[in-house]
Amino acid sequence: MMERFTKPFTQQEPIPDEAIAAAMEVLRHGRLHRYNTLGDEVAETALLEEEFAAFTGARYCLAVASGGYALGCALRAVGVGPGDRVLTNGFTLAPVPGAIAAVWAEPVFVEVTDNLTINLEDLSVKAGQGAKALLLSHMRGHVCDMDRLMEICNAAGVIVIEDCAHTMGAAWRGVPSGRHGLVGCYSTQTYKHMNSGEGGLLVSDDPQVMARAIMLSGSYMLYARHRAAPPPEAFERVRYETPNVSGRMDNLRAAILRPQLRALPDQIARWNALYRTMETGLQGTPGLQMTVRSEEEAIVGSSFQFLLPGWSAEAVQTLLARAAARGVELKWFGAAEPQGFTSRHDSWRYAPAQSLPETDRILAGLIDMRLPLTFSTEDVALVARIVRAEVLTVAQGGAEVPEFTRSAD
């Protein structure tokens, strides 16, 4: 009998008891708004910012309503505006080019490599063509050679903003993700490394950039209540010039996140154990190409990707159907139409159409799956066996979905 996996790929772990208790305390006193404090009380949101700044080694931190808001806020704070050319990966998710288009700038896509990182040769060419900024997506947790990337961008005068939605806790040569560029942006949406439903964080060492970000987020004149903010003199000019685009995080979400931040190193170790189990299980599968992770990269393995080079769209779709029939949910970035959270650069028609032959070749065979912490290493080993078996079946000409999978369950 064929093995079948029965756990959902979208089920997160419960919110920790410590976080639930902290949230209940906020609910009991009712002061959810970050600036609604009594006496010398310090808001949960201000404490989270202080703790996350320490976690990343940044001078300043701002908590906001979502990861997407963090990206848009960062772009505005560094001075990106209408007509500016902003580079980003050809392989990313829609909120990244969406943030660029939302400030009326022009997304310019950069090719990616077989290891799913930004192509530094293509970046070098496009950085010298009048780009103002690079909104770098560490897509699905893959980190490129950040030293070389910063050399390229610094030489071309291109501002670097890092989208670290998938790399909270990762590092390149010991430097935390988000700490190479001028601003690092993070997400605490449910499927990310800390879960508050929605939420985001920005870090920077630049006092003027962070002062503008704080004013943009809707601080009014209450910026002195931030504990991970620049000194008051950084706000003297920007407080009159910066529009309020309110997107504050509230104390309820901050209370939920603070215990999760303390637990994050242990969570990362668990994710990486799952990732390495999947890597071992799929290693050497004919027809399947693994990504290569640099020894300089400290990963957070919360998802797993592999390539099916040269496969037809029909064969990929057959694999997805056969895997789904056995309980394994795979995502494909090469589909002609966007589905759920998955889309590709030619779906984002608010950006000019662009030729990305290398990225298109890679996406045509790119398969993605989540590795939630509700899975054990034994679960992941089973998933790997199923994926390996189905890849072999389809590669050898198996075209039909097994009959038992058409039942109601």
- Residue 297 pLDDT: 98
Could you read off the pLDDT of 227-241 as tens digits, one per residue?
A: 999 999 999 999 999
Span between the terminal Cα atoms of the chain, in Å: 17
List, for residues 89-115, the tens digit of each pLDDT value: 999 999 999 999 999 999 999 999 999
- As separate numbers, helices (DSSP H) first and strands (DSSP E) second, the chain gives 12, 14
User: What ranges do the domains of the chain cover?
Assistant: 17-258, 264-406
H/E element, 156: helix 146-156
Backbone angles phi, psi at 132, to 5 degrees: -90, -35
Residue 365, burial from CB neighbour count under 10 angstroms (0-12, 13-18, 19+): buried
Q: Of 3.90.1150.10, 3.40.30.10, 3.40.640.10, 3.40.50.300, which CATH number belongs to 264-406?
A: 3.90.1150.10
Q: What mean pLDDT is predicted for residues 388-398?
A: 91
Beta-carbon contacts of 289 under 8 Å, excluding residues fewer than 6 positions away, are 114, 306, 307, 308, 309, 365
| Residue for token pair 């089920």 | 11
Query: Average per-residue pLDDT in the chain?
Result: 95
* Cα dist from 99 to 71, 80, 103, whole Å: 6, 11, 7
Query: At 375, phi and psi to the nearest 5?
Result: -90, 145
pLDDT score at 408: 28
Taking residues 44-56, what's their average pLDDT? Answer: 98
C-alpha–C-alpha distance, residues 301 and 278, integer Å: 10
CA distance 221 to 243: 12
What is the mean pLDDT of the segment spanning 372-385? 98
Q: What is the CA radius of gyration of the chain?
A: 22
Q: Edge-to-edge strand order for the sheet containing 60-64? A: 60-64, 200-204, 183-187, 159-163, 131-137, 85-89, 106-110
Taking only the tens place, the pLDDT of each residue in 280-291 is: 999 999 999 999
Assess contact for 371 and 362: CB atoms under 8 A. no
- Per-residue pLDDT, 336: 87
17-258 adopts what CATH topology? Aspartate Aminotransferase; domain 2 (3.40.640)
| Segments in 237-376 forming alpha helices (H) | 238-241, 251-282, 313-325, 357-363
Smallest Cα–Cα separation from 110: which of 76, 79, 144?
A: 144
Q: Which amino acid is at 351?
A: A
pLDDT at 272 over 50: yes
**Tokens representing residue 139 in the block:** 């897509």
Q: Bigger pLDDT: 57 or 406?
A: 57
pLDDT score recorded for residue 397: 83
pLDDT at 328 over 80: yes
- Residue 324, H or E segment: helix 313-325
Q: So what's the pLDDT on residue 401?
A: 47
Give the whole-angstrom CA distance, residue 145 versus residue 268: 21
